[in-house]
Amino acid sequence: MIPGKYLLFLGDVDQRLDAKTACGLADWAPDRCVGQWRLPTCGVDLGLPDMDFRTAIEAGARTMVIGITPFGGAIAPAWVGPIAAALRAGLNVASGMHVRLEAIPEIAAAAQASGAELFNVRVPGANYGVGTGRKRSGRRMLMVGTDCAVGKKYSALAIARDMNSAGMAATFRATGQTGILIAGAGVPIDAIVSDFVAGAAEALSPDNDADHWDVIEGQGSLFHPAYAAVALGLLHGSQPDAIILCHAAGRSHVDGYPDFPLPGIAECIETNLRLAARTNPDVRCAGISINTAALPPEERESHLASLSAEFSLPCFDPLTTGAHALVADLERRMLATDA
């Protein structure tokens, strides 16, 4: 467990999509976030107090979390000095990057000199075998997406929360660095050697009680030119009984890849179901989650209603509506099956 409260490091990013870890912690673990630290050129503001390292420590922070998620997971040269300064001030540092913090000499030296700890969240904590395809007890729900950064983590968190509120047995299963920081456990699935991704997903969602749901955070997209592989391995290893299709309203192409248009929702659902059936022939799509942030507020409700009618599925926004409609539909189906 990473100690204490957090100071969120935003560096010099200028888009919220590049600060997914910081945004996720601010939205889902606000009691652990005391402030933010930004370079003068940073264009993202989480609405938290801007703090220097000493002020953050006085406010209760013990760890600075690098809240940035750049392509490739590398630490930019401009961040190294401030990270080392935070360590020298006495803050631990947690990172979700692929590169280990101690691999950067200035950071390693600062940590050794101060005695502060380095936490590499995106480094697997265990060795995993290959997937077996064995049918496991319990129920599993996996978030899948038309793209990266469309709300798969937020959807899983909202569903698990609303299932628990309704008295259902459910556990959020984190597969990325932000989810792991929020939940305190999980598997950084995109850091697993490709042959073992399905096996890691099986380990993440083991046998459980018949009425228990593992609500699994998705990664990547089957339609992403760079990150389709992790999505497929997670799909097969999760062996989902249900998938939730996640999409960001208004997005027309893969983020960062303007030459790759996004698939339609129907195509995305069909493709995920066809491939998921390899390890669970009974898989179905249980709902659609839409990030409506890009829509005018007055259009969001009608957009969700229209999609719900078109696909005959519950359709929700994890932040604005929550997953109550999806959970109610699941309860109705479970009662009908038991009857």
The verdict on residue 133 lying in a domain is: no
DSSP letter for each residue of 233-293: HHHHHH--SEEEEEEETT--EETTEEEEEPPPHHHHHHHHHHHHTTT-TT-EEEEEEEE-T
The answer to whether residues 43 and 155 belong to one domain is no
Helix 265-276 crosses helix 228-238 at what angle (to 10 degrees)? 50
Contact between 173 and 101 under an 8 Å Cβ cutoff? The reply is no
**How many structural domains does the chain have?**
2
Host domain of residue 58: 5-120
The verdict on residue 134 lying in a domain is: no
Q: What is the pLDDT along the chain (339 residues), one digit of tens a residue?
A: 787 899 999 999 988 888 989 999 999 999 999 999 999 999 999 999 999 999 999 999 999 999 998 766 788 899 999 999 999 999 999 998 888 999 999 999 999 999 999 999 988 888 999 999 999 999 999 999 999 999 999 999 999 999 999 999 999 999 999 999 999 899 999 999 999 999 999 999 999 999 999 999 999 999 999 999 999 999 999 999 999 999 999 999 999 899 999 999 999 999 999 999 999 999 999 999 999 999 999 999 999 999 999 999 999 999 999 999 999 999 888 777 665
What pLDDT is stored for residue 339 in this prediction? 52
Q: Which of 57, 87, 120 lies at the terminal end of a domain, its last residue?
A: 120
Residue labelled with tokens 């265990």? 126
The verdict on residue 70 lying in a domain is: yes
Q: What is the pTM of this model?
A: 0.91
* Token pair listed for 141: 């729900």
Closest by Cα among 9, 67, 4 to 36: 9
Q: Which of 55, 90, 120 lies at the terminal end of a domain, its last residue?
A: 120
Contact between 80 and 106 under an 8 Å Cβ cutoff? The reply is yes
* Token pair listed for 273: 């179901």
The answer to whether residues 147 and 84 belong to one domain is no
The verdict on residue 280 lying in a domain is: yes
Taking the C-alpha atoms of residue 45 and residue 8, their distance in angstroms, rounded to an integer, is 11
Q: Which of 120, 149, 184 lies at the terminal end of a domain, its last residue?
A: 120
CATH number, residue 90: 3.40.50.720
The answer to whether residues 214 and 319 belong to one domain is yes
The verdict on residue 278 lying in a domain is: yes
What pLDDT is stored for residue 15 in this prediction? 85
Torsion sign across C-alpha atoms 244, 332, 240, 141: positive
